[in-house]
Each structure stands twice: as C-alpha cells, then as structure tokens.
Amino acid sequence: MAETLLDIAMMHSDSLLLRARQGDKNAQGKLVQLWYKRIYNFAFKFFQDHDMAMEVAQKTFISMCKNLEGLQDTSRFKSWLYTIAVNYCREELRKKKSNRSVPFEFVVNPEAENSPRWEGSSMRHENPERQFQQAELSEILQQALMTLSEEQREVVIMKEFEGLKFREIAEVLNISENTVKSRMYYGLDGLKKILEQRNITKDTVHYEL
Amino acid sequence: MSYKPNEAAWMAYLYGEMESEERERMELYLTANANARLELENMKALQQMLRTVEDKEVIAPPIVVDNNKTRSLWDFPYAKTIVSIAASLLLIMVVGRLTDTSISSDDTGIHISFGSKVITPPVDNTPMLTQTEVQDMINASLHQNNDTWQQNLTENRLKIDESIRKNLAANNRNSERVDALVQQVASASNDQIAAYVASLQTENMRMMQDYMKLTTNEQKDYMENLLVDFSKYLQQQRNDDLRLLQTKITDVEQNNNLFKAETEQILTSLISNSGTSFQKSGIRN
C-alpha cells in the first residue's frame, strides 16, 4: 500500500505526541485528525456499521485525550491506541448482542436509494466494468470478514488493513505472538474457503498487481 | 529434510516478519515442495484481493474533553458507597433518638422498645403452698368430684328405670288396641269383599249394556246410510246407462233415417236413369 502524506505524518508524530501528553489541546486535536480515519476504518471493518464505527472512534479519542498523560513510552502509542479501540469495539459488540434490535439501515436497503459505492471511490475515473468488479469484490470480502470469529476478525483487520506488526497486535490483544499468527492463519484460511464457495479465486479475479 | 512450517511460520514468512535463518529454511522447503508453493501463491492472491477493500473517507468530528483535573472527593471510587452508608447510619441514629428507641438484652432475649422503659417489679418466686398441701387439695377435689358423679349416676339410673317401665305399660295398652282392630278387620273383610265384587260386576254389566246399545245404534245408522248411498249410486248408474242407451238408440235411428234417405235417393236416381234409358231405347227403336 502506497504511503500517503498522512501515513508519513503518523510515523513521525513524536514531537506532536510529546506536546499532546503535556496537555496541548492543539496537538491533541492534530493527533485526532491524524488517527481518526484509521481507527474509524478499523471499527467499520469490524462492525460493517458506520454509526457503531463513529461511536467507537469518538470514544477511543476521548479516552486517548484523557489518558495520554499516563502513556510512558511514546513508541507504543500505536498499539496503545488500538488497545483502546479494540476494547471499545468489544464493549459495543456486547451491547449489540444484548440489544437485539435491527438497525434501520438493514430495514431500508441503502443500495436501493444511494448510488453504488464505487461511484464515490477513487477508482471512478477508471474502466467502469473493472470498477464495478472491484467494488463487488470489496463488498464480498467485507461480508466474508464478518463471518470470521471476533478474535480472528480483529487480527486480520489489524494485520491486513491497519498494517500492524504481529508484535504490535500481540501487545494490543495482550496475547502471544504465536497465537496472533495462528489466528491470522485460520482467519485467512476461513476467508479463502468462503471465497472458494462463491467461486472467487485468483484465476477468476483479474486485478492489477 | 525434516523442516515443516507451522501456521505461525507461514504467516511470518507471508508478511516478511521471519528471521533470516528460518526464512532460508522456509525457502528451501518451498523450493522442494510444489504444494507448499501453491499454498503460498494462494495466500498471496488472497492478500491481493483483500487490498481491493478501500478505506472509507471520514471527517474527524471535534473531540471535546473536559480536562478539569480537580477531582472532587465525590469522584473517588467507593466514596459514594461510604457516604451512603454513613448517611444511613446517621438517619437510623436520628430516628432512634426521636423515637426513644432502646435495645436491651437479658436472659430472656433481645428487647427493642420505643419510649421510656417500663420497669416491671421483680416476681416473687418463693412457693406459697407446700407440695403435700397441693396434693391434699387435689385429692379433696377429686374425692368431691367422685361423690358428685356417683350421686348423679344413681339419680339418672332411677329416672331411666321409671321411664322404661312407663313406656312398657303404654306399649302393652297400644298392642291390645291394635289386636282388636286387626280382628275386626279380619271378620268384616269377607262380606265387604263379596259386596264390593258384586257391585263391581253390576257396574261392569251396566257399562257393557250401555256400550252395546250405543254401538248397535251407531252400526244401524251407519248401515242405513250405507244402503241409502248404495241405492243412490245404483239409481245414478241406472240413469246414466239409460241415458247412454237413449243416445245410442237415437244415433241408430238417425243412421237409419240417413240410410233410408240415401237409399231412397239412390233408388230415385236409379229409377230416373232406367226411365231415361228406356225412353232412349224406345226412340231408337
């Protein structure tokens, strides 16, 4: 994945972190701006629900601002932030399981009312057929992610989409690195099986490397 | 080659997080094993597919955090619980003071009382009567009771005997009366039955006679009506037959007249024809 300016800024945010730790509101605001998209997307892939992802992201950053002072090692900021996000994701999931109401988005089909998702994506200037195929594949993959267990899903998202190292994921989840790798292996295996069931393999999908 | 990668090794190699020494062994394993190479290719293909999932664009909302560091005593954990317990105790004490509640315990148990405590005089437990006196009192009472019972029993027995005797005498008188009645009934029954049977027979006979009379009259009327009806019917039938015969005879007469007229007409025509032919033959001659 190509590194954007935002990624570079995230990697070199030590001075920002130091200022934010000292209670600099401006620095805290910039940290939120830098990391909000990542945490939101992590939560969105975990729930496939915009509102729940927003809820988790906001709670994570409120908690971050409140507790940043207690963070001793700034090099561990990334795993520390994801730890907060994972905890809130689990909390929301517990609430969702206890509250069996159906979200309104599932009742009213958003696909029928809104334009296709690929229209808003960055691929919209490319070949329309290919754009549609990729959007469809993306949709299928996100649905397949939701079929994984909670433990496998959080590992797959953190590794594959958030680019955390296995060591960092182990730190976030407070488990051994080997357990993380094992969950990742079985998570990928599960995804592969689901895709094979829908006849989606490397031979049937044409993507540009 | 004994090296066979486990799940953790597969993942470490796939994501480039494997130590160089183990990576070499893994690469050797892959070179020697075509199936392992295929599996690795499949995993890489899945990685490529997963990269098609794009991030959603989102705008970070303003995060407002109240950084008021002065933490009141109220915010400490358990502070609310402790204060609640203290308030409850205080309330109990105030209520106890207002209602003059007193709790005391002695040999007989725990006593909770409201208001001023009533001091009860100690009970004198010294015995007033000795055991023999009490025993004598009980014996005397029992003796008196037994005497009363005996007296009552004797009186009752005498009353019952007298009553039985009276009842027996009354019964004897009643039985004699009943016997006399039975004898009277037995002697009178034969004549009465004979008279009753005779009256019944007479009545039955009278009823039968009446019935026979009535039925005979009815039958006679019925037969008369029947005969009248039958004679009417016969008369009617005869009239009809006569009318029919009359009609037939009239028809025959009419036919005869017609036949006669026709015959006359024919004879007349024959005669006239024969006269004409005779004249003709005479002329010819």
- Residue whose token pair is 């690929």: A118
pLDDT at A71: 87
Contact across the interface for B46 and A205, Cβ inside 8 Å: no
| Choice between B193 and B261, residue whose per-residue pLDDT is larger | B261
Q: Residue B9: which pLDDT band, with cuts at 50, 70 and 90?
A: very high
Q: In the predicted model, is pLDDT for residue B258 greater than 60?
A: yes
pLDDT of residue B72: 62
pLDDT band at B194 (very low <50, low <70, confident <90, very high): confident
Note the pLDDT of residue A206.
59
Task: Verify whether the Cβ–Cβ distance B62 to A29 is below 8 Å.
Answer: yes
Place B215 in a pLDDT band, splitting at 50, 70 and 90: very high
Share of chain A above pLDDT 90, in %: 48
Which residue matches tokens 């992590």? Answer: A42
Check CB contact under 8 Å for A181 and B8: yes
CA distance A96 to chain B (A): 22
Question: Out of A136-150, B56-70, B208-222, which region has the weakest mean confidence (pLDDT)?
Answer: B56-70
Q: Tell me how close the Cα of A129 comes to any Cα of chain B, in angstroms.
A: 15
Least confident of A20-29, A126-135, A147-156, B140-149: A126-135
Res B235: pLDDT: 95
**Does the beta carbon of B8 lie under 8 angstroms from any beta carbon of chain A?**
yes
Q: How confident is residue A81, by pLDDT bands cut at 50, 70 and 90?
A: very high
pLDDT single digits (tens) B198-207: 999 999 999 9
Q: Give the residue-averaged pLDDT of B228-242.
A: 95
ipTM of model:
0.78
Three-class secondary structure of residue B59 per DSSP? coil
Residue of chain A whose alpha carbon sits nearest to that of B55: A41
pLDDT tens digits, B80-113: 889 899 999 999 989 888 888 888 887 778 878 8
Chain B environment of A23 (Cβ under 8 Å): 67
User: What are the backbone dihedrals phi and psi of residue B105, each rounded to the nearest 5 degrees, phi first?
Assistant: -130, 140
Q: Pick from A123, A142, A191: which is nearest to B46 by CB?
A: A191
Mean pLDDT along residues B247-267: 93
Residue B167, pLDDT > 90, answer no
Asked whether residue B123 carries a pLDDT value surpassing 70, the answer given is: no
Domains of chain A in start order, with CATH, are 1-101 (1.10.1740.10), 128-209 (1.10.10.10)
Determine which of A42-51, A71-80, B59-68 has the lowest per-residue pLDDT on average.
Answer: B59-68
Q: What pLDDT was estimated at residue B240? A: 95
pLDDT score of A59: 94
Average pLDDT value for residue range A40-69 = 93
pLDDT at A191: 93
pLDDT at A127 over 80: no
C-alpha distances in Å from residue A33, one per residue of A23, A29, A68, B81, B164? 16, 6, 16, 40, 123
**Any B CB within 8 A of A175 CB:** no
| Nearest residue on chain A to B12, alpha-carbon basis | A181
Chain A's closest residue to B41, CA to CA, is: A202
* Average pLDDT score over chain B: 85
> Smallest CA–CA separation between B3 and chain A, in Å?
18
Structure confidence at residue B177 (pLDDT): 82
Amino acid at A27: A
Return the residue of A nearest to B43 by Cα: A188
Q: Are B56 and A40 in contact (CB under 8 A)?
A: yes
Residue B73, pLDDT > 70, answer: no
Q: Three-state SS for A126?
A: coil
Return all residues near B61 (Cβ < 8 A) that are at least 6 apart: A54, A58
User: Which has the higher per-residue pLDDT, B165 or B64?
Assistant: B165
Q: Give the pLDDT score at B23.
A: 92
What is the length of chain B? 285
A161 pLDDT exceeds 70? yes
CB contact under 8 A, B63 and A41: no
Whether B136 has a pLDDT exceeding 70, the answer reads: yes
pLDDT in the model for residue B87: 94
Residue A146 touches chain B, beta carbons under 8 Å: no
Tell me the pTM: 0.52
Residue that has been written with the tokens 């004979």 in this structure: B194
User: To 10 degrees, the CA torsion angle through A10, A13, A19, A23?
Assistant: 20
Q: Which residue, B63, B9, B196, is CA-closest to A184?
A: B9
Backbone angles phi, psi at B106, to 5 degrees: -140, -160
Question: Contact A37/A6 with Cβ under 8 angstroms?
Answer: yes
- Compute the nearest-CA separation of A100 from chain B (Å): 26
pLDDT on residue A3? 55
Instruction: Tell me how far apart the alpha carbons of residues A200 and A133 are, in angstroms, rounded to a whole number.
Output: 12
pLDDT-based confidence at A139, cuts 50/70/90? confident
Type and span of the H or E element at B221: helix B131-284
User: In the predicted model, is pLDDT for residue A196 greater than 60?
Assistant: yes
Among A57-66, A103-112, B109-118, B240-249, the least confident range: A103-112
Which member of B10, B17, B53 has the closest CB to residue A141?
B53
Instruction: Please identify among residues 34-93 of chain B the ones whose CB lies closer than 8 Å to any CB of chain A.
Output: 41-43, 45-58, 60-63, 65, 67
Percent of chain B with pLDDT over 90: 50
Q: pLDDT value at position A167?
A: 94
